[in-house]
Amino acid sequence: MGFDKEASSSSQTLKPLPREDTPLLGKPRPLSSQAKTFANVFIAIVGAGVLGLPYAFKRIGWLTSLLMLLSVAALTYHCMMRVVITRRKLESVDGFSKIASFGDLGFAVCGSMGRMVVDIMMVLSQAGFCVGYLIYIGNTMAKLFNSGSDRRVAAYLSSKIWGLSAKSFYIWGSLPFQLGLNSIKTLTHLAPLSIFADIVDLGAMGVVMIDDVGIIWKNRAEVQAFGGLSVFFYGMGVAVYAFEGIGMALPLESEMKDKSKFGKILAIAMAFIALMYAGFGLLGYLAFGENTRDIITANMGKGLISTMVQLGLCINLFFTFPLMMHPVYEIVERRFWGGRYCIWLRWLLVLVVVFIALLVPNFGDFLSLVGSSVCCGLGFVLPSLFHFLVCKEEMSWKGWSVDVGIIVLGVVLGISGTWYALVEIFSTKGI
């Protein structure tokens, strides 16, 4: 299939083919200050996964969820720093060229196989995010325009438009527009939408949290502190999904002016995000209790502000879709089309994402599936494995134990969480 040939030559040619680390605007950007690096870390990590956190709190209990979020945040920080340390170690050795991306690091450590594994996981994670976006758009639009006065989930998921379920209708309706947006060769014109996306995310979170506080003030719902062991893996998948951002660790560190401060800034940013996630998830669960839905915005009433927030999030995710799919196109076109632009490959990938979104009914269950099946491997197993292979000669038995322990933990969580998420999706409430 040409994997080995491509991977061995991609870092040695005078004009390298487009890769997953190709800059959005095609030119070097100025180095970032500490404040800008903090903002970039925030933007790279915070996304639509936060909308499923209150539902995860409902499933596994509020105290279990808080402990889990803080643990996943600490583990994610540790693994991101492992990636940075591994690159620094390799670049200090003669014969290693500049390592710009996670895929480059995989190639430097494990050769063509390392790059291929990273590429596959990056494709699955990015495409998985986009499937989640379409599920949210379809369910939210159906709730807003096809549920009438009945706010029950079954009311809008069972409604029909031209013989299709309302969710399917809105997802199919977005397809022609997504084909057009995803046909754009460069992200130059789409890159500013990432700023809009984060503004909408923060605004929506603020409105939802204010709404939650008002409901809690009037009548706090009954909640539980702990859930069962089986749902623990479900919650872990959602938490890992919400913190996924390992692919941005190396580019963010490269762009920082004072690289010695990167670890400190990353730690502060991860702590801030963890506290924000904890507050958002806890308030949502305290407000709605057992009635908390897989997408917290589905719990909002039928007012103007509620409608604007939900429509704003739909528009945000609609335009974020091509941005998140761009790394997928770079990897697939590099491996199967010589790094050249291929519109039919892009359209085929969009169709695959649409079909999967049509088959998966529940936003929260799909977050858990992607977080467990892909993000555990990408965020925990590979960083620790690469660090172990490069630095094992210099590590003490304690360092060995930490790396091996995280690898084993990532594999166990990945397998268990994937199994549980699939059982949930294919159960009687699913397909």
Tens of pLDDT, residue by residue over 65-117, are 999 999 999 999 999 999 999 999 998 876 666 788 888 899 999 989 999 99
Calculate mean pLDDT across residues 225-232: 77
Tens of pLDDT, residue by residue over 247-261, are 888 888 888 888 889
Q: Which residues contact 162 (CB under 8 A, 6 or more apart)?
A: 169
At residue 423's C-alpha, the angle toward residues 417 and 426, to 5°, is 135
Tens of pLDDT, residue by residue over 197-222, are 777 777 888 888 888 898 888 887 88
In this predicted structure, the answer to whether residue 49 has a pLDDT above a threshold of 50 is yes
Calculate mean pLDDT across residues 14-36: 55
Lowest mean pLDDT among 108-112, 416-420, 422-426: 422-426
In this predicted structure, the answer to whether residue 26 has a pLDDT above a threshold of 80 is no
pLDDT averaged over every residue in the chain: 82
Lowest mean pLDDT among 161-165, 264-268, 318-322: 161-165
Quickly state the pLDDT bin for 17 (edges 50, 70, 90): very low
User: Phi, psi (5° rounding) for residue 366?
Assistant: -70, -35
pTM for this model (two decimals)? 0.80
